[in-house]
Structure 1
Amino acid sequence: MKPSESAPIGIFDSGIGGMTVVKSVMKALPGEDIIYFGDTARVPYGTKSMDTVREYALQITDFLLKKKVKMILIACNTVAASARQEIISKANGIPVLDVVLAGAKIAAESELKYNLVGVIGTLATVGSGAYEQAIANINSNISVFSKACPLLVPLAEEGWTDNDVAKRTVEIYLEDFKQKPLDSLILGCT
């Protein structure tokens, strides 16, 4: 049965990072009700196996479907990279959107000078090649340079986003990008 127009939108992430997506949705669609599921009990997902991430994602999808959501928005890059197709199948016709396809679309359709896009994210997201595939599907002339940055999730989850430790960590991770003429850099982790 198709959900009603007044049904809520379901958004989920492995933790609190997806609240940035909720904020954007609320700004763009102020009249919509939202159910947000932040799996802070099992964060981070980026260090877990793809099978484990899929299991968690499908459990959360079941929860959202029981709440009769009209749409599911995957705000977790790791989940989008590892379980998108399974979630679409389980959603049984309910629209499923995700941050990987959205980020890839913006990067690939932007004005490009070097045809080079950078991606930073969790080990699982970077290892999946999801951004490379999504960008290639839009524009096969773009090269993607990716780097796993596993310390960013725990820093963000602890609220350590604007201090010397966070800044130095980002500087170290981005060192490899300094010699690359990037058109854009995707933060592949909310």
Structure 2
Amino acid sequence: MNNTTKQRPIGVFDSGVGGLTNVRALMERLPMENIVYFGDTARVPYGVKSRATIETFTAQIVDFLLQNEVKALVIACNTIAAVAGQKVRSAAGNMPVLDVITAGAEAALQTTRNGHIGIIATSTTVNSNAYARAIHSRNPDARVQSQACPLLVPLVEEGWLDHEVTRLTAREYLKPLLADDIDTLVLGCTHYPLLKPLLREEAPGVTLVDSAL
């Protein structure tokens, strides 16, 4: 990599503010790197939109980042990674493309002790089965249960991180996963790490895996 390329920024993108959790992790590990962040707060949430819509929005974001001459792309949005990851890689050509689903699957398998892994994510991410595929490709014996949590992103975007409404909503979503004796919970949306304190209280004894880390 020549010096000109080295000085170019890393492009990170998400459907909203959630991907800033990835930016923070990147800044801790790569303090000398420049980062261009695109959070599509005007059109959040993505997790309830159609595949075609997500692919269209994603193409627009990638075009913007490529115009900013980024040297690598980080798909910080689980929904985009699940349904448009290949489109991003095609548009990027030889440029490195990293995504949160691969990272989250690997971290979950390193963390679990009983092989029972829970996934909470948007409806689109859950319906894509991307996490289960990524985990089973590495360990076919792992037991994966996914739960769509469509109400959590709007609550996080509203700033209701420790609101009683958010707590009761999360409790309902977690019930079937906890009944399945999961010991590891993947936060399959970059908004969810902002709910870590609440989720720890509602799922005691379960290790939370943040795919941004």
TM-score range, shorter chain: over 0.9
Shift of 1:114: 2.1
- CA deviation string 1:97-154 (max 9, x = no partner): 01111000111233x4321110011000000000011101111111210010000000
2:97 aligns to what? 96
Determine the structure 1 residue equivalent to 2:136.
Answer: 136
1:159-179, Cα deviation, whole Å (9 max, x unpaired) = 111121111111111111222
1:84 alignment counterpart: 85
Aligned length: 188
CA distance in 2, matches of 1:31, 1:171: 40
Return 118-127 or 3-12, whichever deviates more. Answer: 3-12
SS in 1 for 2:86: helix
Partner of 1:176: 176
TM-score normalised per structure 2: 0.85
Task: Tell me which amino acid in the other structure corresponds to 2:62.
Answer: T
Work out whether 1:57 is the aligned partner of 2:58. yes
> What 5-or-longer segments of structure 1 have no aligned partner?
none
Residues 48 and 122 in structure 2, CA contact (< 8 A), matched pair in contact too:
yes
State the match for 2:147 in structure 1.
147
Following superposition, the deviation at residue 22 of structure 1 comes to 0.7
Amino acid at match of 1:177: L
Report the 3-state secondary structure (helix = DSSP H, G, I; strand = E; otherwise coil) of the residue aligned with 2:5: coil
Cα RMSD for the two superposed structures: 1.2
Distance across 1 between alignment mates of 2:132 and 2:26: 26
CA distance in 2, matches of 1:44, 1:64: 20
SS across alignment from 2:6: coil
**Equivalent residue letter for 1:84:** G
SS of alignment partner, residue 58 of structure 2 = helix
Moved over 4 A (4+): none
1:12 partner amino acid = F
- In structure 2, the partner of 1:159 is 159
Structure 2 segments unaligned to the other structure (5+ residues): 191-213
Instruction: Work out the CA distance in 1 between the residues paired with 2:113 and 2:33.
Output: 38
CA offsets per residue over residues 53-86 of structure 1, 9 Å max, x none? 1111111111111111011000000000000011
Counterparts of 1:102-141 in structure 2, within 5 Å, are 102-110=103-111, 112-141=112-141
Distance (Å, rounded) in 2 between the aligned partners of 1:108 and 1:50: 28
Please give the secondary structure, in 1, of the residue aligned with 2:26. Answer: helix
Letter in 1 for 2:147: K
Indicate conservation of the 8 Å contact 2:147/2:177, yes or no: no
Residues of 2 paired with 1:103 and 1:94: CA distance? 21
Q: Which residue of structure 2 lines up, in the alignment, with residue 48 of structure 1? A: 49
The separation in 2 between residues aligned to 1:84 and 1:74, in whole angstroms, is: 8
Q: TM-score, normalised by structure 1?
A: 0.95
For 2:70, the equivalent position in structure 1 comes to 69
- Percentage identity across aligned positions? 50
